[in-house]
Structure 1
């Protein structure tokens, strides 16, 4: 089919306008910035996707980026990397914390030498960073997970939560909101029987999922608000006698969960685009270093293709609401 010349011209104009907008934003930012991304775990697929967003934004603003981090999600595993980045005199550090407090003394040293610290995905104590880029409103995530599970199990039955690490800030905040949602009228027939921890390790999460299903024979559902946990649990569930009997939902990427949706192991789950999260954090960090914002509530900044964002209380910026993925829409997404 031949493209209409007017349509082709319009597409070209829109593409030029988008490129011009990004170039204009880049001119408002200092050039050649050094920005490092320190995820919870370097080999976590979720973190790799977030890192790709950091890299994309860094290219747009002509910054130099790197991603470094531990292979495990221990509370102290990130300390050495923070110290190295301080020695390198990075202009900004973007990090997802394995523990809200363990890194704070080292992050304070980074800030004292002028390095801007932006937390993303999993926050640190406020005195350890300037801004926190939250994937979505924490209350909204926690409540939405319970609401989705309630719909999938008909509002009744025992369920468990398969979390990441016991100290993960984001996980614990979401679980707290899940518990609050359960106290609302309408959930009297649902009961949370266990919170298990897979430590964001694939094999441990697999074993924990297996253990939950064996320990609680009346279990109707599992919420795994971690991309590692939900995929490991789905892998076990897909080849077990519980497939089709126990509902699994939580937070996962479309690419890792697509096969489990297609084979009927999982009906629906939720997430945001991790690449956009890293992308937004990079623009926030660059604006901080460039002096365009200070992280105070009410300030706004432009974040490339994502548009304008406002800084909220305690330096928090929210990417946007999560998306629910199911068989009807999962093939529209590739991340």
Structure 2
């Protein structure tokens, strides 16, 4: 073979090798693109992440849990449920909060929490609007935000864990007030703070019920605020009894308030003439039920509220849910739960406690 023909054959062979390498490279690029697309998270029509109902809870999640205030027995019980949920899922939840229940007392602590970049923040809001701007900052930083027990502005969180429906709690307060007064007389409310979202919603429903024929014999004379502080609630009780000598019942939709009111009335000359009812825990109210200071009160299990909040936050952080209405997830010992309108999840109806059943409950 001539030199010309040998050179031509060599160039043909080299060209064939180069073409083969280009084709192979293109094939690799195509495969990589398909693999990347298939492993990317699904998105919704508006570009947001879609829920993966069949997904698994991520291990190692970290959350910051914030009560209305540290040292509140109800809040401590609730937050212990959140910690329990994260521990079950192989994660970690730390409790941080203010020492008072002021409207803006949570804000600087939330700002500090954001800097730690947790997977989720779970809180009971002292004021729905005061915490909203900083919670929106958390969401912008890809931190999931869940409120429990007391809500924030709906656009500042993804999910709200409601103890029971607002209507159901308000109706329960009206029914118990009617029961302990025989359906007639003056009643007063001893609330937590003036800005507490849950308290105000329940009191609104209570007022509405008092306008109906069924409760027309009751008259609400005052809404007092003990700021979820034991001593102030105790003093407010004393003030109510002094200002309204014909008072028949104090309705306290707060565990701090009901315990303080019952403690004052239990040694007051008006014990038996004025009843205490509302929302409390069996352990704090047991002796007051048995000595006649409180014939009936109601509550859900606060630990279950926090436990459900923990699972909801973990489901959000794991991509199992996004907070959209109709989504479902498994919440440990509480079973499957569904998200309702506006990102709300309801634990269940409150239980009413009386002398007959109070020893069946320990919390």
Please give the TM-score of this superposition, normalised by the length of structure 2. 0.84
Structure 2: distance between partners of 1:156 and 1:327: 23
Match of residue 169 from structure 1: 197
In the alignment, structure 1 residue 229 sits paired with structure 2 residue 248: no
Task: State the 1:116 CA deviation.
Answer: 0.2
**Which of 277, 282, 286 is residue 254 of structure 1 equivalent to?**
282
Note the residue ranges of structure 1 that are not aligned, 5 or more in a row.
1-24
> Could you say what secondary structure the match of 1:175 adopts?
helix
Match of residue 218 from structure 1: 246
- Residues 159-182 of structure 1 show CA distances to partners (whole Å, capped at 9, x for unaligned) of 000000000000000000001111
**Which of 151, 157, 161 is residue 185 of structure 2 equivalent to?**
157
Match of residue 115 from structure 2: 87
Task: State the 1:143 CA deviation.
Answer: 1.1
Structure 2: distance between partners of 1:236 and 1:144: 24
In the alignment, structure 1 residue 189 sits paired with structure 2 residue 217: yes
In the alignment, structure 1 residue 72 sits paired with structure 2 residue 108: no
Q: How many residues align?
A: 311
**Which of 285, 301, 310 is residue 282 of structure 1 equivalent to?**
310
- Residues 9-50 of structure 1 show CA distances to partners (whole Å, capped at 9, x for unaligned) of xxxxxxxxxxxxxxxx9x810110001110101110000000
Runs of 4+ in 1 over 3 A off after TM superposition: none
> Could you say what secondary structure the match of 1:186 adopts?
helix
- Residues 52-98 of structure 1 show CA distances to partners (whole Å, capped at 9, x for unaligned) of 10121111101111111011100111011101110110100000001
In the alignment, structure 1 residue 318 sits paired with structure 2 residue 346: yes
CA-based RMSD: 1.2
1:1-335, aligned counterparts within 5 Å?
28-335=56-363
Match of residue 49 from structure 2: none
Match of residue 18 from structure 1: none
Structure 2: distance between partners of 1:187 and 1:104: 37
Task: State the 1:186 CA deviation.
Answer: 2.2
> Could you say what secondary structure the match of 1:160 adopts?
strand
Please give the TM-score of this superposition, normalised by the length of structure 1. 0.91
> Could you say what secondary structure the match of 1:149 adopts?
helix
Structure 2: distance between partners of 1:209 and 1:152: 17
Structure 2: distance between partners of 1:188 and 1:78: 40
Structure 1: distance between partners of 2:249 and 2:290: 19
The structure whose Rg is larger is 2
CA contact (8 A) 2:191 2:257 kept: yes
